[in-house]
Amino acid sequence: MEGGKVNLELKLTDVRSHESGLFMCWRQGQKPDPQVLVTILEHGSQSERQTVVHSESPAVVQYGEAATFSCYIQPAWPVRVTWLKDGNMISWRDRLYTQTKKRLLGNTQGQEQHTQDDQLVASLFVASVRENASFTCRIETRPPEEHSMQVTVRVPRVDSLTAEPDKDLVEYGQPLTLTCTVSGSNSEVLWLKDGSELVFGPVFPKRRKQFTMDPPNRLVSTVHFESISFADNGQYVCYIPGASKHILINIEDRPPRLLGVTGNNFYEDEELSLRCTTQYAKNAGTQVTITWTFEGAVINPNAYESLTYPGEHNTTVHQLVLTHASARNIGTYQCITPFGSAQIYVEMYAPPSLSEPLPSEVHFQEGEFFQLPCLTIGHPLPSVHWEKKAGDRWEVVEGSEGSGSSSELIFPRASASDAGSYRCVAKSEAGSFQAEIFAVMERPDPEVLEIIAPETVIVGENFTIQCTVRNWEAEVEFTLNGASLMSSLAERFNVLRYPMEESLTEAFLIVRDSELQDSGQYRCSAGAAVSLPAPVLIKLPEARVVGLSASAPVVGRDLNITCVVNNWDGLVTFVFNNEAVEPQSNGWRYAIFPGVEGDTVTTHILTVPTATHHHSGRYECFTTPSSSRSLNINVWDVPEVTLELQDKEELNWRDAPIPIACKIKGISPDMVTVLFSHEDTPQVSIQNRTKMSTSSQLVNVAVSEGEEGDEPLTIFTLGFYSLSKDFEGLWSCEVFLPSGDNLSKDTLYMEIYEPPEFVNPPPEQLFQEDGTDLRLNCSVSGPLETMVAWYRQGIQEPIVFDRMSALLFIPRFTTTDEGYYVCRASSHGREIQTNTYLSLGTPQPRVESVVASPAVVGQEFSVTCTVSNWDREVVFFHNKEPLDFRPDSRYFKEQQGVLQDEVEQHHLVAHTLRVADATHTDSGVVECFLTTEIFGSINVTVMDVPATDVTVHASQPTLPPGQIVQLSGPQTAFAGSELVLTCVVSPQVAQDIDIVLVHNTLYLYVGGIVLAEDPRVDIVTDNTNDGSRILYLRIIDVKATDEGTYQCVTSTNPPAYSTLVVSVAESEKPTELPEVVTNLPSVPGVPDLAVTPMLLPGVMDVLGQEGEAVILPCRISPIIDFVSAGLHLLSAPFLDFHSSRRGRRVLSTNKHHQTNHILRAVLQQKAPTYHTVPFRLIA
Express each pLDDT in 324-346 by its tens digit.
Answer: 888 889 999 999 998 889 999 99
E strand or H helix at 585, and its extent? helix 583-586
The better pLDDT of the pair 903, 834 is held by 834
The pLDDT score that the predictor gives to residue 929 is 93
Cβ-contact 459, 492 below 8 angstroms: no
Look at residues 442, 462, 497 and tell me which one is the last residue of a structural domain: 442
Q: How many C-beta neighbours within 10 Å does residue 977 have? A: 15
- Do the domain assignments include residue 584? yes
Residue 314 above 50 pLDDT? Answer: yes
Whether residues 175 and 191 share a domain: the answer is yes
Amino acid in position 1098: G
Percent of the chain at pLDDT > 70 equals 82
The pLDDT score that the predictor gives to residue 466 is 94
Angle at 883 between CA 877 and CA 886, to 5 degrees: 160
Whether residues 704 and 767 share a domain: the answer is no
Residue 698 above 90 pLDDT? Answer: no
The pLDDT score that the predictor gives to residue 33 is 60
The pLDDT score that the predictor gives to residue 4 is 67
- Do the domain assignments include residue 654? yes
Whether residues 473 and 505 share a domain: the answer is yes
Residue 954 above 70 pLDDT? Answer: no
The pLDDT score that the predictor gives to residue 444 is 79
**Over the stretch 488-545, which tens digit does the pLDDT of each residue have?**
566 788 888 888 887 789 999 999 989 888 999 999 999 889 999 999 999 888 888 9
Whether residues 532 and 588 share a domain: the answer is no
The pair phi, psi for residue 611, each rounded to 5°, is -65, 150
* CATH number for position 147: 2.60.40.10
Whether residues 763 and 879 share a domain: the answer is no
| Mean pLDDT value across the chain | 80
The pLDDT score that the predictor gives to residue 502 is 74
- Do the domain assignments include residue 9? no
What is d(CA 661, CA 642) in angstroms, rounded to the nearest whole number?
8
Nearest to 1086 by CA among 1124, 1138, 1135, 1044: 1124
- At residue 1116 the predicted structure's pLDDT band, cuts being 50, 70 and 90, is very low
The better pLDDT of the pair 456, 13 is held by 456
Amino acid in position 725: K
The pLDDT score that the predictor gives to residue 345 is 93
Residue 174 above 90 pLDDT? Answer: no
Residue 1129 above 60 pLDDT? Answer: no
The pLDDT score that the predictor gives to residue 180 is 94
What is d(CA 657, CA 700) in angstroms, rounded to the nearest whole number?
13
The pLDDT score that the predictor gives to residue 915 is 92
The pLDDT score that the predictor gives to residue 42 is 61
The pair phi, psi for residue 116, each rounded to 5°, is -65, -15
- At residue 28 the predicted structure's pLDDT band, cuts being 50, 70 and 90, is low
Residue 1097 above 60 pLDDT? Answer: no
- At residue 183 the predicted structure's pLDDT band, cuts being 50, 70 and 90, is confident
Cβ neighbours of residue 1 closer than 8 Å, sequence gap 6 or more: 7
Whether residues 867 and 930 share a domain: the answer is yes
Whether residues 493 and 582 share a domain: the answer is no
DSSP 3-state of 506: strand
The pLDDT score that the predictor gives to residue 1122 is 29
- Name 375's bridge partners: 406
What is d(CA 632, CA 1090) in angstroms, rounded to the nearest whole number?
86
Whether residues 1075 and 1025 share a domain: the answer is no
Mean pLDDT of the region 860-883: 89
Peptide bond into 1093 cis (omega under 30): no
Cβ-contact 250, 170 below 8 angstroms: no
Number of domains in the chain: 11
Whether residues 912 and 798 share a domain: the answer is no
The pLDDT score that the predictor gives to residue 17 is 65
Whether residues 221 and 185 share a domain: the answer is yes
Look at residues 401, 426, 442 and tell me which one is the last residue of a structural domain: 442
Q: Computed from CA positions of residues 920, 923, 928, 931, in that sequence, does the dihedral angle turn out positive or negative?
A: negative
Ranges 401-410, 882-891, 1091-1100, 1114-1123, most confident: 882-891
- Do the domain assignments include residue 312? yes
- Do the domain assignments include residue 1099? yes
**Number of residues written out for the chain:** 1179
What is d(CA 515, CA 482) in angstroms, rounded to the nearest whole number?
18
The pLDDT score that the predictor gives to residue 67 is 93
Whether residues 172 and 161 share a domain: the answer is yes
The better pLDDT of the pair 843, 1088 is held by 843
Domain that includes residue 64, residue range:
17-153
Lowest mean pLDDT among 331-335, 443-447, 822-826, 1148-1152: 1148-1152
Residue 150 above 90 pLDDT? Answer: yes
Whether residues 852 and 729 share a domain: the answer is no
- At residue 567 the predicted structure's pLDDT band, cuts being 50, 70 and 90, is confident
Lowest mean pLDDT among 9-18, 392-401, 779-788, 1036-1045: 9-18
- pTM for the complete prediction? 0.34
Mean pLDDT of the region 162-167: 89
What is d(CA 356, CA 949) in angstroms, rounded to the nearest whole number?
78
Look at residues 196, 220, 249 and tell me which one is the last residue of a structural domain: 249
Cβ-contact 718, 701 below 8 angstroms: yes
Residue 1162 above 80 pLDDT? Answer: no
Residue 953 above 50 pLDDT? Answer: no
- DSSP one-letter string for 1017-1080: EEEEEEE-TTS-EEEEEEESS--GGG-EEEEEEE--SS--EEEEEEEEE-----EEPPS---SP
- Do the domain assignments include residue 4? no
- Do the domain assignments include residue 10? no
- Do the domain assignments include residue 8? no
Mean pLDDT of the region 544-563: 90
